[in-house]
Amino acid sequence: MAGNKGRGRAAYTFNIEAVGFSRGEKLPDAVLKPPPLFPDADYKPVPLRTGEGEDYMLALKQELRETMKRMPYFMETPEEKQDIERYSKRYMKVYKEEWIPDWRRLPREMMPTKKCKKGPKSKKAKDAGKGTSLTNTADVLKKIEELEKRGDGEKSDEENEEKEGSKEKGKEGEEEEEDDAAEQEEYDEEEQEEENDYINSYFEDGDDFGADSDDNMDEATY
Amino acid sequence: MTQAEIKLCSLLLQEHFGEIVEKIGVHLIRTGSQPLRVIAHDTGTSLDQVKKALCVLIQHNLVIYQVHKRGVVEYEAQCSRVLRMLRYPRYIYTAKTLYSDTGELIVEELLLNGKMTMSAVVKKVADRLTETMEDGKTMDYAEVSNTFVRLADTHFVQRCPLVPATENSDSGPPPPAPTLVISEKDMYLVPKLSLIGKGKRRRSSEEDATGEPKAKRPKHTADNKEPIPDDGIYWQADLDRFHQHFRDQAIVSAVANRMDQTSSEIVRTMLRMSEITTSSSAPFTQPLSSNEIFRSLPVGYNISKQVLDQYLTLLADDPLEFVGKSGDSGGGMYVINLHKALGSLATATLESVVQERFGSRCARIFRLVLQKKHLEQKQEIPKTPDHAPSRTFYLYTVNILSAARMLLHRCYKSIANLIERRQFETKENKRLLEKSQRVEAIIASMQATGAEEAQLQEIEEMITAPERQQLETLKRNVNKLDASEIQVDETIFLLESYIESTMKRQ
CA atoms within 13 A on the CB side of B247: 33
The residues facing B396 across adjacent strands are: B375
Beta carbons of B166 and A95 less than 8 Å apart: no
> Poorest-confidence range of A97-111, A127-141, B258-272?
A127-141
Q: What is the pLDDT of residue A185?
A: 42
Give B 32-51 residues with CB within 8 A of chain A: 36, 48-49, 51
Beta carbons of B202 and A76 less than 8 Å apart: no
**Chain A residues within an 8 Å CB radius of B67:** 107
**Chain B residues within an 8 Å CB radius of A1:** 389
Residue B416 has pLDDT above 70, yes or no: yes
Q: What is the pLDDT of residue B352?
A: 93
Q: What is the pLDDT of residue A163?
A: 43
Per-residue pLDDT tens for B41-84? 999 999 999 999 999 999 999 999 998 888 889 999 999 999 99
Given B93, B163, B202, which is nearest A57 (Cβ)? B93
Q: What is the pLDDT of residue B375?
A: 75
Going by the DSSP 8-state scheme, the letter that residue B188 receives in this structure is T
CA gyration radius, chain A = 33
> Poorest-confidence range of B209-213, B230-234, B243-247, B375-379?
B209-213
Question: Which of A122-126, A181-185, B345-349 is most confident?
Answer: B345-349
Residue B265 has pLDDT above 70, yes or no: yes
Distance separating alpha carbons of residues A150 and A44, to the nearest angstrom: 63
Task: List CB contacts of A174: < 8 A, sequence separation 6 or more.
Answer: A104, B166
For chain A, percent of residues with pLDDT exceeding 90: 10
Residue B430 has pLDDT above 90, yes or no: yes
Closest residue in chain B to residue A10, using alpha carbons only: B390
In whole angstroms, what separates CA A139 from the centre of its chain?
35
Least Cα distance to B88 among B106, B112, B56 occurs for: B112
Distance separating alpha carbons of residues B91 and B466, to the nearest angstrom: 38
Q: Chains A, B: CB contacts under 8 A, how many?
A: 214
Q: What is the pLDDT of residue A222?
A: 56
ipTM of the shown complex:
0.87
For chain B, percent of residues with pLDDT exceeding 90: 58
Are residues B63 and B75 in contact, defined by beta-carbon separation less than 8 angstroms? yes
Region B94-110 average pLDDT: 96
In whole angstroms, what separates CA B449 from the centre of its chain?
43
Which has more pLDDT, A86 or A5? A86
Task: List CB contacts of A96: < 8 A, sequence separation 6 or more.
Answer: A70, A71, A72
Query: If residue B157 lies in a helix (H) or strand (E), which one and from where to where?
Result: strand B157-159
Residue A53 has pLDDT above 80, yes or no: yes
Dihedral of alpha carbons B453, B458, B464, B470, sign: negative
Confidence of residue B303 (pLDDT cuts 50, 70, 90): confident
Q: Is pTM, for the whole model, over 0.80? A: no
Q: What is the mean pLDDT of chain A?
A: 62
Beta carbons of B54 and A77 less than 8 Å apart: no
Closest residue in chain B to residue A208, using alpha carbons only: B441
Q: What is the pLDDT of residue B106?
A: 96
Q: What is the pLDDT of residue A24?
A: 56
B136 in contact with A, Cβ within 8 Å: no
Q: What is the pLDDT of residue A19?
A: 56
> Poorest-confidence range of A19-33, A177-191, B135-149, B374-388?
A177-191
Give A 137-196 residues with CB within 8 A of chain B: 164-165, 168, 170-171, 173-174, 185, 189, 192-193
Q: What is the mean pLDDT of chain B?
A: 86
> Poorest-confidence range of B12-26, B202-216, B460-474?
B202-216
Give B 312-351 residues with CB within 8 A of chain A: none
Are residues B224 and A185 in contact, defined by beta-carbon separation less than 8 angstroms? yes
Which has more pLDDT, B47 or B457? B47
Beta carbons of A200 and B212 less than 8 Å apart: yes
